[in-house]
Amino acid sequence: MDALNFIDGHHVHAREFVDNLEPATGRPCGKVASSDATDVETAIEAAQRAFPLWSRLPASERGRYMRSIARIVERDLEKFARAETVDSGKPITTSRTLDIPRAIKNFDFFADAATQFGSESHANESSLNYTLRQPLGVVGCISPWNLPLYLLTWKIAPALAAGNTVVAKPSEVTPLTAHLLGAACAEAGLPHGVLNLVQGLGPRAGAPLVQHPGVKEISFTGSTRVGQEIALACARRLAKCSLELGGKNALIVFEDADLDEASTLAVRAAFSNQGQICLCGSRILVHESVRAQFTEQLVAKTRALVQGDPLEPATEQGALVSQAHLDKVLGCLALAKSEGGRVLTGGGRARIEGRCAEGFFVQPTLIDGLHAHTRTNQEEIFGPVATLLPFKTDAEAIELANSTRYGLAASVLTRDLKRAHLVAQRLESGIVWINCWMVRDLRTPFGGVKESGLGREGGNEAMRFFTEAKNVTVAL
């Protein structure tokens, strides 16, 4: 299947196309539109035309369209899950049970949130001051490849709910679910131009969207390097931007944790989606006194992960997303070894027989014996590679957890309630999970501190981000 643009209510071609490769086989599975500034301009003009009508619709009416889209994706869940697996190499069970259901939930959640959205009023002796939160106009949403539909809709849904029209650029590496979403919007009768999807490469299709004066705001999820470029481009024209960026997250196992539960959780946190989730716990900090016992369990559970064809329902570890990413992760493994790391399990490319013989697979890998300040422990790998770091005191655990330039998420595993809350307060991290990982309530703010991001999207805050606050003062 080819991935086309969806502009002004229709699928349309771009002048050029690039190959879309299936990561599990390394072979082309279709083509993706390689849009340029002209396509972006067309999409922005369509969104501008649609804005007056869409922004004036009652919130409940906007919500009705969004729910219709959600029901179509739900009906076609299998088609979406298969497309995502072919596109990304992730296990189809993950697409079926996590990615696509979450994308559906994004639409449903913000359809409701639109009708509950409030703003403030402050009265004093002489005046009444109230805040109007008005939609901005056309907003730009740029998303990465690791959770293609889930992260795309996490931006699109609050933007539409708040009354904006959208031009979104999905990742060129995983364009298929966005293509299908376009068809779902057409079937739902979404007014033309309200949501436009422009496929293509970052510098060719993403940059013109970021630089366009008609785009009031950019919501970006992706790498810290590109996020910094986008922040600069937005700063030049004083456009609002929110950035959800990389992570090097710590999972801290205290000596009083349930080690069986902790090792199961650590495997999930480190290797879900082949370690290609910004929230993955890629640095596992473990108390010295339980290190041997915990490591033994961790290694055994890592070795038990089922790696294979992502289209097989039993597969737990699929392929990495691209040849380029495979090369990057293999380079990180070579670096870890050259820095003195001891490979406890994994450590190289995995060979799968049959259809997937040429696929981009890497063995889930655990590495021990590296100092916290090595590049391996400082830089985001974004693959199935986790390191183990021992600690002796709570203070040392906190210092290790905070020792990178990132600050996205952290997990604290302990039975001691007081310790859990104290440690959570001192972690430099936008999200802290206590005895869990990647649990999300969409009403809470989401995002990182330090170089993991700027702005918090979630619930009311996400809706607010997509509005302009206007103060109105009435003399009394």
Out of 244, 316, 380, 457, pick the active-site residue: 244
Residue with Cβ nearer ligand NAD (153 or 221): 221
Binding footprint of ligand NAD on the chain (CB under 6 A): 142-146, 151, 169, 171-172, 201-203, 206-207, 210, 221-223, 226, 229-230, 244-247, 278, 380, 382, 408, 448, 453
Residue with Cβ nearer ligand NAD (166 or 286): 166
- CA distance linking residue 467 with residue 461, whole number of Å: 10
Out of 234, 278, 332, 356, pick the active-site residue: 278
Residue with Cβ nearer ligand NAD (42 or 414): 42
SS3 of the chain: the string is: CCECEEECCEEECCCCEEEEEECCCCEEEEEEECCCHHHHHHHHHHHHHHHHHHHHCCHHHHHHHHHHHHHHHHHCHHHHHHHHHHHHCCCHHHHHHHHHHHHHHHHHHHHHHHHHCCCCEEECCCEEEEEEEEECCEEEEECCCCCHHHHHHHHHHHHHHCCCEEEEECCCCCCHHHHHHHHHHHHHCCCCCCEEECCCCHHHHHHHHHHCCCEEEEEEECCHHHHHHHHHHHHHCCCEEEEECCCCCEEEECCCCCHHHHHHHHHHHHHHHHHCCCCCCCEEEEEHHHHHHHHHHHHHHHHCCCECCCCCCCCCECCCCCHHHHHHHHHHHHHHHHCCCEEEECCCECCCCHHHCCCCCECCEEEECCCCCCHHHHCCCCCCEEEEEEECCHHHHHHHHCCCCEECEEEEECCCHHHHHHHHHHCCCCEEEECCCCCCCCCCCECCEECCEECCECHHHHHHHCEEEEEEEEEC
Supply the minimum distance, in Å, between the C-beta of residue 391 and ligand NAD: 25
What is the four-CA torsion angle of 429, 434, 438, 442, rounded to 10 degrees?
A: -80
Q: Is 61 a catalytic residue?
A: no
Supply the minimum distance, in Å, between the C-beta of residue 287 and ligand NAD: 27
Q: Which amino acid, one-letter code, is at 103?
A: A
Supply the minimum distance, in Å, between the C-beta of residue 174 and ligand NAD: 8
Supply the minimum distance, in Å, between the C-beta of residue 314 and ligand NAD: 26
- CA distance linking residue 461 with residue 110, whole number of Å: 12
Supply the minimum distance, in Å, between the C-beta of residue 36 and ligand NAD: 13
Region of 26 on the Ramachandran plot (φ > 0 left; ψ -120 to 50 alpha; else beta): left
Residue with Cβ nearer ligand NAD (89 or 206): 206
Residue with Cβ nearer ligand NAD (308 or 383): 383
- CA distance linking residue 89 with residue 92, whole number of Å: 8
Task: Output Rg (C-alpha) for the chain, integer angstroms.
Answer: 23
Q: Is 244 a catalytic residue?
A: yes
The catalytic residues are 244, 278
